[in-house]
A and B are shown apart, each in its own frame.
Chain A
Amino acid sequence: MTEAATTAGAPTSFAERSGPIEWASLPRRMVTIYLPLACFVIVLLFPFYWMAITTFKSNEELYDYKNFNPFWVSSPTLANINKLLFQTDYPSWLVTTMTVAVVSTALSIFASVLAAYAIQRLRFKGSQWVGLAIYLAYLVPPSILFIPLATMVYQLGLFDSPMALILTYPTFLIPFCTWLLIGYFKSIPYELEECALIDGATRLQILWKITLPLAVPGLISAGIFAFTLSWNEFIYALAFIQSAEKKTVPVAVLTQLVEGDVYHWGSLMAGALLGSIPVAIFYSFFVEYYVSSLTGAVKE
């Protein structure tokens, strides 16, 4: 998987040998490298372990640290997951989130491919400034846009509809994807397009038959990134959606599963776990693309 992804043409290769040469002895390496690294991994992963273990605990075990070891489940139960799936709107939240993420990703990729192609390959006067403007658009955070967007969404009659999210998510997806794809198109030799132009291909044919097939790894990177970003989006979904069954998973877990002052930690953790798993699975298939798009975007 790792090998295949790297050779598939991801722009950064981690396979190359790099970094300083090692002369330190093994005990020394133990203390200076492996021990701190182990601490990092434990701290970074502990909340997920804790989330997972809480999900499978029964209520009596959950609130009793004296008689049960809190780090382990003695009698695992599916009650929390069962409650979540069959007594709440969780399946419909999942469907909404998935739909919104897929549609807004598709829309953003479509717009970004065309824009990146125009900026990087068609090279018009001022294309560099357009590129800069798109970079700046990425730096405009949703936190300052959601209030005016909320009034717009209301006036357009999109309030409480998934369309509001599908149309607003591209504001942060398009700048990122365009930026990533500009960098990717740059790495494709322009000579290939010149050959095609000489052979009489039209610009659109070149984009469709030459540039895009070569940019597939870049498209996958942009796509999975956009999907993850829209899956994780919170503030727009919180502000624009009101009815319980239309919420997205992150918002619904936080607002619908907390009933009054009593927190049902078991089902809350189950909601968090089940909401994380789709992204985690998705991620595990495309790790190399994530890393390359993350680092590629920063390096550009």
Chain B
Amino acid sequence: MAVTTQRVALPPVEQSWLARLFDWKPFLIVMCMLPCAGLLLVFLTYPLGLGIWLGFTDTRIGRPGEWIGLENYVSLLQDDTYLTAVWWTFFYTFVATIGKFALGLWLALLLNHHLPFKSFLRAIILIPWIVPTVLSAIAFWWIYDPQFSIISYILVDRLGLLDQYIDFLGDTWNARWSLIAANIWRGIPFVAICLLAGLQTISPSLYEAAMIDGASAWQRFRYVTFPMLMPILAVVLTFSVIFTFTDFQLVYAITRGGPANSTHLMATLAFQRAIPGGQLGEGAAIAVSMIPFLVFATVFSYFALARRKWQQGGKDD
């Protein structure tokens, strides 16, 4: 008893003005936000604005540009390479996303069964996503080699399905499908592991109830799994779409935009024109022209997230 009273009666510890300053909430908030806000404002927000400005100038490497208004955009609209790149970027995003999600969802559903070595399986499935994209892209480059492709070898020499080796990267459409395949390969693990996490939050009792009501496997998927998975699916989808749309590494490593500029994505074309080509203004204009789509996807994501909160009972933070 005596001990407790003594404790309460202790005088407050004398603090230096510095310690008190750091305990003053407004100052502390400013100090805490400073490194993060400083780095992001200087190296993210400012370059974003600078990029939009550069798009309206004729800046080249080593020469500050002058304001030329919409000239970059007007000339891009008459540039077949650019228009092909835009069309191909949308096509690539669309097909690769569908492939990733169809196969990723299938893999997630498979992994959601009771399996031996489940955590080991989950671990090795994530490997393609962990390894640097460029390095696995180089492996694909070798797999797609015109003379020594292992895929051609299996199809031609082992199975006898084809007469001659496939020219994977030399033909426009072969190169495009090869890139899409590599992108899907790289995207499956991310989608599968995220969707698996979503699947595991679905209560087994829902399936049991559906089974008692006589629902078939397809009906259980369509009316239980799919609606319950929708929120997380929407978020992963947005991420996947944004990062596929702005993809750079895979195309740069495997085809560098070739053959004959037919596989340039907007990002690789922007790089090609800006850094090796030296036309910073034009490159920036190409990069900026990706922004409207990104804004659209982000707004979509925002509403998908809002819907998710509403589904979970409207918790606000």
Known A200-B13, A204-B23; contact A283-B127, beta-carbon cutoff 8 A? yes
With both beta carbons as reference points, the residue of chain B lying nearest to A145 in the complex is identified as B47
Task: For the complex, give the distance between the alpha carbons of A78 and B249 in Å.
Answer: 29
Contact with B along A256-278 (1 / 0, CB 8 A): 00000001010011011001100
Q: Which residues of B contact A50 (CB under 8 A)?
A: 139, 142-143, 150
Q: Which of B119, B275, B284 contacts A239 (CB 8 A)?
A: B275
**B190 located at the interface, meaning its Cβ lies under 8 Å from any Cβ of chain A in the complex:** yes
Q: Which of B32-40, B77-85, B93-101, B171-179 contacts A (4 or more CB under 8 A)?
A: B32-40
Interface centre among A19, A143, A251 (most CB of B within 10 A): A143
B interface residues (Cβ-Cβ under 8 A, vs A) = 12-13, 15, 19, 22-23, 25-26, 28-29, 31-37, 39-40, 43-44, 46-48, 50-51, 54, 59, 103, 106-107, 110-115, 118-119, 121-128, 130-136, 138-140, 142-143, 145, 147-148, 150, 153, 157, 185, 188-190, 193-194, 196-202, 204, 207-208, 211, 220, 232, 235-236, 239, 242-243, 246-249, 252-253, 266-267, 270-271, 274-275, 280, 283-284, 287-288, 290-291, 294, 298, 301, 317
Task: For the complex, give the distance between the alpha carbons of A251 and B294 in Å.
Answer: 26
Q: Which residues of A contact B15 (CB under 8 A)?
A: 202
With both beta carbons as reference points, the residue of chain B lying nearest to A20 in the complex is identified as B207
Interface secondary structure of B, over-half rule:
helix
**A176 to chain B: closest CB distance in Å?**
11
Q: Which of A14, A141, A294 contacts B190 (CB 8 A)?
A: A294
Q: Which residues of B contact A137 (CB under 8 A)?
A: 40, 44
**24 A-B contact pairs sorted by A residue (CB < 8 Å):** A18-B200, A18-B202, A19-B200, A37-B110, A48-B127, A111-B39, A139-B242, A141-B242, A141-B267, A143-B247, A143-B270, A144-B267, A151-B59, A171-B44, A178-B36, A202-B22, A232-B131, A254-B134, A269-B142, A271-B138, A280-B131, A287-B122, A288-B119, A291-B122
Q: Which of A83-91, A117-125, A187-195, A210-218 contacts B (4 or more CB under 8 A)?
A: A117-125
A interface residues (Cβ-Cβ under 8 A, vs B) = 2, 12, 14, 16-22, 29, 33, 36-37, 40-41, 43-45, 47-48, 50-51, 54, 62-63, 65, 70, 107, 110-112, 114-115, 117-118, 122, 124, 128, 130, 134, 136-137, 139-152, 167-168, 170-171, 174-175, 178, 186, 200, 202-204, 228, 231-232, 234-235, 238-239, 249-251, 253-254, 263, 265, 268-269, 271-272, 275-276, 279-280, 283-284, 287-288, 290-291, 294-295, 298-299
With both beta carbons as reference points, the residue of chain B lying nearest to A131 in the complex is identified as B317
Known A18-B112, A37-B110; contact A44-B271, beta-carbon cutoff 8 A? no
Q: Which residues of B contact A21 (CB under 8 A)?
A: 204, 207-208, 211
Known A203-B23, A279-B132; contact A291-B126, beta-carbon cutoff 8 A? yes
The 4 closest A-B pairs by CB, nearest first: A295-B197, A115-B36, A118-B32, A143-B267
Interface pair B207/A250, CB less than 8 Å apart: no
Task: For the complex, give the distance between the alpha carbons of A149 and B274 in Å.
Answer: 12
